[in-house]
Chains A and B, each alone.
Chain A
Amino acid sequence: MSLELRDIRKRFGAVRANDGVSLQVEEGALHGLLGENGAGKSTLMKVLSGFIEADAGQVILNGRHLEMSSPRDAITAGIGMLHQDPLVFLPFSVLDNFVLGSPNANRVEAGAELRRIGAGFGFSFDLTAPARSLTVGERQQLEIVRLLWLGAKVLILDEPTTGISATQQALLFETLRTLAAQGMIVIFVSHKLEEVEALCDRVTVMRRGKAVGDVELPAPMDQLVEMMFGRPLEVTGRKPGGPGEIALELTDVCVDDRLVSLEDLSMSVRHGEIIGLAGLEGSGQRTLLRTCAGLIEPKSGSVRAAGVDLTSRGYHHHLSSRIHYLPAGRLEEGLIRGVTITEHFLLAGEQTGPIIDWAEARRRADEMLREHSIVGTTESTAESLSGGNQQRLLLALMPDDVAVLLMEHPTRGLDLASADWVWNRLLARVAGETAIVFSSADLDELLRYSDRIVVFFGGRVFKVLDARSTDSERLAHLIGGRDVA
């Protein structure tokens, strides 16, 4: 079995998302598709899975030209795609999700098949549970089994590791290796070099809508980085520095946040210190950050910043104590849809009087855009920016004199260059005495930048570690609730 994409072209308005991309994949190989955000990977894969129609180009499977005008044509031909955000129906039951759109009508048989195929990979499903109660990883598992059941011989995975735990990622990679060994074509789309390197046998690198080249793996990291970005890239590490005074202190804090409750939590962060919060999604990291930000009121205990008691004082008091919070939902909680960059700076800035001086506002916004190298204009709306640029904008919106910066997933969904830029900025702030508390699912990020790592498990603090004397293996075990050391 072999799959070939020949000279695929697709434009969105003035943007050439795919500018003559060709790709060849043989069966039994795990094929990576690597490139930074906006390189055209997703567009190419959506063309391959019939989700969008290319302006020009051919898809050839086993020497046969495929004419595809919808995902149904693709799956009939044996091509299935797992989208970045798994396309499940959240209120529907697992079984409903499984049978929806399939030609097979018998629900009992379908349920049995779901269990049987799933069991082969170590997945288990509660057929009557609503899909909403599943983790992102379990939703992916459901989709993978569904595509296999529908007869997929080519499986495309678009950034499947976003938002899943380390354990689920290990299970996913295991599954993909098994599938490739069974003779399927597996295409793994990612902007994360390490993942492609760990999983794939061969990789095609894309840059600005074009395929730059194919490489057999393992290959030198530098070579791949240069192909991705067109230039070598240096990853900034953390220089250890002496922490200063206590910036934020929690004493015996108890919080009840619907699903998660934290009990008797005491911790402190000093100026110039970085604390990483590790753990499975929903283990309490978010609750802690939101408590520190004053968005959740603790039931008991105290929150103090620089000697001032902030317990139960609310978000705005925290802000005036220079405690800032950047949530994971950049567009949902951080920025405002439909509001331009200039207007964002106006809203975030100091009040200067009742009348807006637009020329001045635009000039200042433009200055900030250049200073933070944000790709966009002063009139771009928040949602028109890419994920990396949204994060840059959020950082640009923050005043310079932040005492404590609380961040959720600072680099989630960002490509290497943007992630490195973000951390450069953050480290500059830390050197200027800011304390940072951040949560992340990326173990390397936690280990590289933190001074201390707080591991959460099941809604409580499981372990506090010195980041310098820990490795990713130990951290992964701790996140899964096992203390092996």
Chain B
Amino acid sequence: MEATIATIVATAAPLVYATVGETIAEKAGVINLSLDGSILLSAMTGFATTYVTGSVMLGFLAAMLVSMVIAALIAFASIELKLNQIAIGFVLTLLAAELSSFLGRPYVGVRGTSVPHWRVPLLSDIPFLGKVLFDHNLSVYGSFLALIAAYVFIFRTKRGLELQGIGERPEAAFARGIPVNRMRYLYTVIGGALVGIAGAAYSLDVKFGWRENLTLNFGWIALAIVIFGGWHPVRAAFGCYLFGALQVLALKLQPVSAFQGVSQILPILPFVLMIFTLVIVYLDWFRRFGERHPRWRRLLSSEPPAGIGRVFERE
């Protein structure tokens, strides 16, 4: 049991990075739709860099850089060229995915280094929780840190409030003296960096290596989790772990003879079940519960930032 939950936590770690990154960008009002392509290209770049240099650290940095560049492109196209964020994000998804296949060919099937494992002293000796949370590879701990840091930043700091303001009503943020577009660049690129880490965490940790379309569709799932997670990093993280659980379940069912006939569809089952679950979570019941219990309102509200996807201009 402990081992299974630990596996779920480890499997979900890259998704946590991606959803936290995307939540930050969308809170600022910029939709980075390129996630699926960004993660693929970052995964490939991260693995290739580590393979060539032998340094996992450099691999992660290269992966971050790639996704930051893509995020910056989206911010530039949206803010300066006033292009539609959805359109540009979609095109970049396709481009990055194809690039990852093309450039990644020499690295398919080769054995590389992976993220080191580290048992946290003392904490890992706690019964149950120690095994579940504190006996992992380093990139998993990073996902915890990213999640906590994002939550504290967005909801507990002045800058975080400004970030929400930029995405909610850019004109009002501007009237309060916040440089809206500069901040949008900043947060989109920071979000991109986290997406890059997600890619590298797949190729250097969870999936150990590179093959074509290694992380295909995980980006789309991350985007869905952000939306149904109500732009709240903690609620989104729950979604990530749920998806991780579904993946692990599908994996465990594969050898069961009763499922032999349908073993082909088992790997895609988590995607279907996830969408289904998220729809249930999105039901009106949740909103009404939030209205009755103000304490939970923010966690349960599924309202998008009102200024999301909208270009801010000073007239």
Inter-chain contacts of A99 with B (CB < 8 A)? 158, 161
CB-based nearest B residue for A88:
B172
- With known contacts A92-B164, A96-B161, A87–B172 Cβ distance under 8 A: yes
The segment out of A68-76, A315-323, A393-401, A412-420 that lies at the interface is: A68-76
Q: When chains A and B are docked, how far (Å) is the Cα of A49 from the Cα of B315?
A: 14
Chain A: minimal CB distance from B152 (Å):
15
A235 interfacial contact with B, CB 8 Å: no
Q: Does A375 contact B (CB under 8 A)?
A: no
Q: Given A52-B315, A96-B161, are A71 and B168 neighbors across the interface (CB < 8 Å)?
A: no
Assess whether A83 is in contact with B175, with CB atoms less than 8 Å apart. Answer: yes
The answer to whether B175 touches A89, judged by C-beta atoms less than 8 angstroms apart, is no
A81 interfacial contact with B, CB 8 Å: yes
- Please determine whether B177 and A89 come into contact, CB atoms closer than 8 angstroms: no
Count chain A CB atoms within 10 A of each CB in B162, B176, B315 and give the residue with the most: B176
CB distance from B36 to the nearest CB of A (A): 29
User: Given A99-B158, A100-B161, is A91 in contact with B168 using a C-beta cutoff of 8 Å?
Assistant: yes
In the complex, A49→B303 CA distance in Å? 31
Among A51, A81, A89, the residue within 8 A (CB) of B314 is: A51
Query: Would you call B212 an interface residue if the criterion is a C-beta within 8 Å of the partner chain's C-beta atoms?
Result: no
* CB of B303 to closest CB in A, whole Å: 6
Shortest CB-to-CB span from A99 to chain B, Å, is: 7
A86-129 at interface with B (beta carbon < 8 Å): 87-92, 96, 99-102, 105, 128
**Mask of B148-178 contacts with A, CB within 8 angstroms, 1/0:** 0000000000100110110011011111111
Please name all residues of chain B whose beta carbon is closer than 8 Å to the beta carbon of A100 when the two chains form the complex: 161-162, 165, 173, 176
| Separation of A47 and B232 alpha carbons in the complex (Å) | 37
How far, in angstroms, from A83 to B172 measured CA to CA in the complex? 10
Cα–Cα distance between A436 and B281 once the two chains are bound (Å): 46
Contacts of B306 in A (CB 8 A): 90-91
Asked if A101 and B314 make an inter-chain contact with CB atoms under 8 angstroms apart, the answer reads no
Given contacts A87-B169, A89-B169, contact A101 B177 (CB under 8 A): yes
* Inter-chain contact B169/A105, CB cutoff 8 Å: no
Whether B168 contacts A101 by the Cβ 8 Å rule is no
> In the complex, A72→B306 CA distance in Å?
23
Chain B 249-289 interface 0/1 with A at a Cβ cutoff of 8 Å (1 = within): 00000000000000000000000000000000000000000
A409: Cβ under 8 A from any B Cβ: no
Residue B179 is within 8 A (CB to CB) of chain A in the complex: yes
Q: What residues on A are CB-neighbors of B174 within 8 Å?
A: 51, 70-71
B301 within 8 A of A: yes
Most buried by B among A46, A49, A72: A72
- The total of chain A residues at the interface (CB under 8 A) is 25
**Nearest neighbor of B315 in chain A, beta-carbon distance:** A52
> Known contacts A88-B172, A90-B306, A105-B158: does B165 contact A75 (CB below 8 Å)?
no
Contact present for B315 and A70 (CB under 8 Å): no
A17 (CB) vs chain B CBs: closest residue: B315
Q: Which of B290-314 contact A (CB under 8 A)?
A: 294, 301, 303, 306, 314
A51-B314, A52-B315, A91-B301 as given contacts; A71 in contact with B172, CB under 8 Å: no
Find the residue from B171, B175, B301, B314 having the highest chain A CB count within 10 A. B175
Given contacts A46-B315, A87-B172, A89-B169, are A71 and B177 in contact (CB under 8 A)? yes
> Bound state CA distance, A87 and B177, in angstroms?
12
Residue A52 contacts which of B162, B165, B301, B314 (CB distance < 8 angstroms)? B314
CB pair A89 B165 closer than 8 Å = yes
CB within 8 A of B179: which of A52, A70, A90? A70
**Contact assessment for A70 and B177 in the assembled complex, using a CB-CB cutoff below 8 Å:** yes
Q: Report whether A72 and B169 are in contact in the complex, using a CB–CB cutoff of 8 Å.
A: no
Closest to A75 in B: B177
CA distance A105 to B303 in the complex (A): 27
Q: Would you give the shortest CB distance from B98 to chain A, in whole angstroms?
A: 34
Best-surrounded residue of A52, A70, A91, A128 (most CB of chain B within 10 A): A91
> B158, A12: Cβ atoms under 8 Å?
no
Nearest-CB residue, chain B, relative to A83:
B175
- Chain B residues with CB below 8 A from A92, complex form: 161, 164-165, 168
Cα-based distance from A46 to B301 in the complex (angstroms): 34
Selected contact of A51 from candidates B165, B173, B175, B301, CB within 8 Å: B175
Q: Is B173 in contact with A101, judged by CB distance below 8 angstroms?
A: yes
Contact partners of B177 in chain A: CB under 8 A? 70-72, 75, 101
A46 to B174, CA, bound (A): 12
Residues of B within 8 A of A52 (CB): 314-315
**Bound-complex Cα distance A96 to B169 (A):** 14
CA separation between A87 and B312, bound complex, in Å? 14
Instruction: Say how far A158's CB is from chain B's closest CB, in angstroms.
Output: 12
> What's the least CB distance linking B177 to chain A, in Å?
3
Residues of B within 8 A of A101 (CB): 162, 165, 173, 176-178
A456 to B161, CA, bound (A): 39
In the complex, A91→B303 CA distance in Å?
Answer: 9
In the complex, the chain A residue whose C-beta lies closest to that of B178 is A101
Collect the chain A residues with CB atoms within 8 Å of residue B164's CB.
89, 92
Instruction: Output the nearest chain A residue to B176 by Cβ-Cβ distance.
Output: A101
Which residues in B have their C-beta under 8 angstroms from that of A90?
168-169, 306
Give chain B nearest CB distance to A267 CB in angstroms: 34
Distance A121 CA – B19 CA, assembled complex (angstroms): 46
In the bound complex, do residue B165 and residue A12 qualify as a contact, i.e. CB atoms below 8 Å apart? no
A342 to chain B, nearest CB (A): 27
- Bound state CA distance, A71 and B174, in angstroms? 7
Interface residues of A in 35-69 (CB under 8 A from B): 46, 49, 51-53
CB distance from B201 to the nearest CB of A (A): 32
Chain A, residue nearest B158 (CB) = A105
Q: How far is the CA of A345 from the CA of B190 in the complex (A)?
A: 49
- CB-nearest residue of chain A relative to B172? A87
Q: In the docked arrangement, what's the CA distance between A100 and B301, Å?
A: 21
Chain A positions within 8 Å of B175 at CB level? 49, 51, 71, 81, 83, 87
What's the least CB distance linking B118 to chain A, in Å? 37
Nearest Cβ in chain B — how far from A388, in angstroms?
Answer: 20
CA distance A101 to B173 in the complex (A): 7
Of residues B162, B306, B315, which shows the largest number of chain A Cβ atoms within 10 Å of its Cβ? B315
Contacts of A70 in B (CB 8 A): 174, 177, 179
Bound form: Cα–Cα A46–B171 in Å: 12
Instruction: Give 12 pairs: A residue, B residue, CB < 8 Å, sorted on A.
Output: A70-B179, A75-B177, A87-B172, A87-B175, A89-B168, A89-B169, A90-B306, A91-B168, A92-B164, A100-B161, A100-B173, A105-B158
Residues of B within 8 A of A (CB): 158, 161-162, 164-165, 168-169, 171-179, 294, 301, 303, 306, 314-315
Q: A91-B301, A99-B158, A101-B165 are in contact. List 16 more A-B contacts (CB 8 A).
A: A70-B177, A75-B177, A87-B169, A87-B171, A87-B172, A90-B168, A91-B303, A91-B306, A92-B168, A96-B161, A100-B161, A100-B162, A100-B176, A101-B177, A102-B176, A128-B294
In order of increasing CB-CB distance, the 5 nearest A-B pairs are A101-B176, A72-B177, A87-B172, A89-B168, A71-B175
